[in-house]
Amino acid sequence: MGGTMDGTKQRRRGNTRQRIQDVALELFAEQGYEKTSLREIAERLEVTKAALYYHFKTKEEIIVSLFEDLTKPIEELIDWGRQQPHTLETKQEIVRRYSEALAGASPLFRFMQENQATVRELSIGETFKDRMLGMRDIIIDPDADLVDQVRCISALFTMHAGMFVMKDLEGDPEEKRKAILEVATDLITQAHKGA
């Protein structure tokens, strides 16, 4: 009592929810959603499984909360993008910002990328799909020819997957991101000109 009171146990107060999210995301990204059990999450946090249920009604709610919390910048980006004229500059700006947004929530996106089959069955599945289609509609000109449409999709995909695939390539992460962004921007630009 009194004194420094840094006690591990005391510290925990009030941030358990956050800690659950952190550990869960780490494990989900590492092993996948189904292979990660609530027992595992609880053990790592040194709480009981029931404690998880105090903070989240179901296992799914954990991933949903992560998705909602970490995905907000992208949602806003899409909303913003929709209201802009579909000029080349806008598209480039969107791609640039998207790249940044992805980098800011990269474990979540790694998870989404690597557990698509699972995500599809979850309630976030629809939301995620809608968002992807939202991006697509901003960037793709529906009258463009098929090849240019593919270029745009390829640009998006390059950004999604790039980071994880290149994990084993040597080099500074930020530099890699820039390189990925450059390729994506290139693709978008080519597609725009083609139209």
Partner DNA sequence: AATGAATGAGAATTCATTCAT
Partner DNA sequence: AATGAATGAATTCTCATTCAT
Instruction: Return residues touching DNA (CB under 7 A).
Output: 12-14, 16, 34, 36-40, 46-51, 53-55, 57-60
Give Cβ neighbours of residue 82 (< 8 Å, ≥ 6 apart).
Answer: 134, 138
- Would you say 68 or 117 has its CB closer to its own copies? 117
Q: How far is the CB of 172 from its own copies (least distance, A)?
A: 10
- Amino acid found at 125: G
Structure tokens at 78: 């899409």
- Specify whether the CB–CB gap between 95 and 155 falls below 8 A: yes
The site partner of 189 among its own copies, DNA, none (C-beta below 5 to 8 Å per kind) is: none
CA distance 76 to 71: 9
- 143 is an interface residue for its own copies by CB under 8 A: no
Closest CA to 58 of 109, 123, 115: 123
Cα separation of 143 and 145, whole Å?
6
Q: Please give the Cα distance from 185 to 131 (Å, whole number).
A: 20
Q: Which does 22 bind (CB under 5 to 8 A by kind): DNA, its own copies, none?
A: none
> Counting contacts by CB under 8 A, is residue 175 touching its own copies?
yes
Which residue lies nearer to DNA by CB, 56 or 98? Answer: 56
Residues near its own copies, by CB under 8 A: 29, 31-35, 111, 113-118, 120-121, 146-147, 149-151, 153-154, 157-158, 161-162, 165-166, 169, 171, 175-176, 179-180, 182-183, 187
